[in-house]
């Protein structure tokens, strides 16, 4: 199962093997064709990321959580802007529920969770099917009737929660290999590194150009891939309004609903939670069918409702430094974080949402 996003001659640990992307299983391309001459800063960033990923891939897997705890905690201390956003988000989502010390713990552990996710992505070229079966507990396969149906297209929708990168990496074995849309960075040298890592278990990377057309064709052929569904969008970008955390309104992507309605695909909410003994629990929720005449907002809301309970149970696993609520309504806006802004287009979405009786 591949993934979509808004994110080869040099080996990274272990033996190199050929992939469908034209590179090596454990290598990184030094640059991407057509990229302008890189600046000194971009080359330094590339060298640092490449060296760090290579180093992590050579470490024993069991030491990665401890390393993530150290680095994640350090970044939390050194990132006052992100820390402020995280603490404000937690208070907005859970007003009055947590003490200041508990909110600080959740925010810090959110950084640690993300650091562990990245370290384990760097380690991904060492993964194989036996490793996945040893370190992942799969749940909900009995209710996911599309997982092994070669004729039924599916979009596996997830949050930036837990080790969301492993959903695609492990899904290559548990479901089927699929496409991953290339992530675009300000530094174009970094993209090929992440593209290669995300393809290291058999998924294949496709460029962002005409990506949605490629995805439509892929789904119409019975394909399956993953997609992040908690991306906050400008109301001008075709977003829909959903209600979350007991009253907050958010303008989020509806791409997964639109693709599903046009192709007959089902949406399967899926999450990767921390499990016992350093393992992960990958949980498949019941598929959501998306007929063409359904309300896209209802589909997006149902998908969100399936995944939000995990954030209540493990708030430290969500990406709290991300600006989840960039817009606030003209009225009843006291719960929204400090960075959110008023927007006429957002208010229009709010009026439409209230008119439907949602």
**Token pair listed for 254:** 């509806």
Q: Which of 64, 135, 86 is closest to 280 using CA atoms?
A: 135
Q: Does the pLDDT at position 204 exceed 80?
A: yes
- Better-scored residue on pLDDT, 78 or 357: 78
Q: pLDDT band for position 358 (50/70/90)? A: low
Mean of per-residue pLDDT scores for the chain = 90
Query: Residue 146: how many CA atoms within 13 Å on its side-chain side?
Result: 25
User: pLDDT tens digits, residue range 285-323?
Assistant: 999 999 999 999 999 999 999 999 999 999 999 999 999
84: buried, middle or exposed (CB in 10 Å: 19+, 13-18, 0-12)?
A: middle
pLDDT score recorded for residue 158 = 97
Is there a contact between 162 and 273 (Cβ–Cβ < 8 Å)?
A: yes
pLDDT digits (tens, 9 = 90+) for 98-156: 999 999 999 999 999 999 999 999 999 999 999 999 999 999 999 999 999 999 999 99
According to DSSP, residue 60 is labeled: -
Q: Residue 136 corresponds to which tokens in the numbers above?
A: 């992942």
Query: What is the mean predicted confidence (pLDDT) over 177-197?
Result: 91
* Tokens of residue 50, six digits: 């490449």
Please report, for the chain, the start and end positions of each structural domain, with discontinuous segments joined by +: 2-8+19-355
Q: Write down the pLDDT at residue 37.
A: 79
Task: Count Cα neighbours of 10 within 13 Å in the Cβ-side half-sphere.
Answer: 14
Residue 231: closest CA among 290, 165, 319, 153: 319
Residue 17 predicted with pLDDT over 90: no
Confidence of residue 208 (pLDDT cuts 50, 70, 90): confident
Q: Look-up: residue for tokens 């699929």?
A: 178
pLDDT at 25 over 50: no
Query: What is the side-by-side strand order in the sheet with 154-158?
Result: 2-4, 224-228, 154-158, 266-274, 280-284, 136-139
Question: What pLDDT is recorded for position 122?
Answer: 98
Q: Can you give the pLDDT at residue 14? A: 31
Predicted confidence at residue 183, as pLDDT, reads 83
pLDDT tens digit string along 215-249? 999 999 999 999 999 999 999 988 999 999 999 99
Which residues touch 101 (CB under 8 Å, ≥6 apart)?
A: none
- Residue, of 27 and 111, whose pLDDT is higher: 111
Give me the pLDDT at residue 248, please: 97
pLDDT class of 181 with cuts at 50, 70, 90: confident
Rg (CA), the chain: 20
Closest by Cα among 19, 14, 15 to 192: 19
Predicted TM-score (pTM) of this structure: 0.88
pLDDT of residue 113: 98
Average pLDDT for residues 165-180, to the nearest whole number? 94
pLDDT for the residue 172: 95
pLDDT at 24: 36
- How many CB atoms within 10 Å of residue 208? 15
């Amino acid at each position: 199962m591949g993934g979509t996003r808004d994110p080869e001659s040099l080996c990274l640990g272990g033996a190199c093997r050929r992939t469908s992307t034209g590179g090596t299983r454990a290598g990184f391309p030094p640059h991407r064709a057509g990229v302008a001459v890189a600046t000194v800063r971009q080359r330094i960033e590339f060298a640092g990321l490449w060296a760090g990923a290579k180093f992590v891939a050579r470490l024993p897997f069991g030491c990665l959580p401890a390393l993530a705890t150290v680095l994640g905690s350090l970044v939390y201390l050194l990132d006052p802007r992100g820390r402020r956003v995280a603490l404000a988000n937690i208070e907005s989502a859970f007003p009055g529920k947590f003490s200041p010390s508990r909110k600080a713990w959740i925010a810090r552990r959110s950084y640690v969770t993300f650091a562990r996710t990245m370290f384990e992505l760097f380690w991904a070229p060492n993964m194989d099917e036996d490793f996945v079966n040893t370190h992942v507990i799969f749940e909900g396969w009995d209710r996911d009737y599309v997982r092994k149906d070669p004729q039924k297209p599916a979009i596996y929708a997830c949050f930036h929660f837990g080790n969301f990168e492993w959903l695609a990496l492990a899904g290559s074995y548990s479901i089927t290999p699929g496409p991953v849309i290339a992530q675009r960075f300000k530094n174009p040298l970094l993209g090929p590194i992440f593209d290669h890592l995300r393809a290291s278990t058999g998924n294949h990377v496709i460029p962002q150009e005409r990506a949605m057309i490629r995805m439509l064709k892929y789904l119409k052929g019975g394909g399956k891939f993953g997609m992040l569904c908690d991306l906050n969008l400008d109301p001008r970008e075709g977003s829909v309004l959903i209600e979350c955390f007991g009253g907050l309104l958010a303008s989020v992507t509806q791409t997964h609903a639109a693709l599903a309605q046009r192709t007959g695909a089902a949406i399967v909410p899926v999450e990767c939670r921390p499990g016992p003994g350093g393992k992960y629990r990958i949980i498949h929720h019941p598929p959501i069918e998306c007929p063409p005449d359904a309300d896209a907002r209802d589909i997006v809301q149902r998908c969100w409702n399936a995944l939000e309970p995990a954030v209540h149970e493990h708030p430290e696993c969500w990406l709290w430094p991300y600006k989840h609520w960039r817009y606030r309504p003209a009225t009843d806006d006291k719960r929204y974080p400090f960075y959110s802004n008023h927007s006429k287009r957002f208010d229009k979405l709010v009026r439409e949402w209230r008119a439907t009786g949602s």
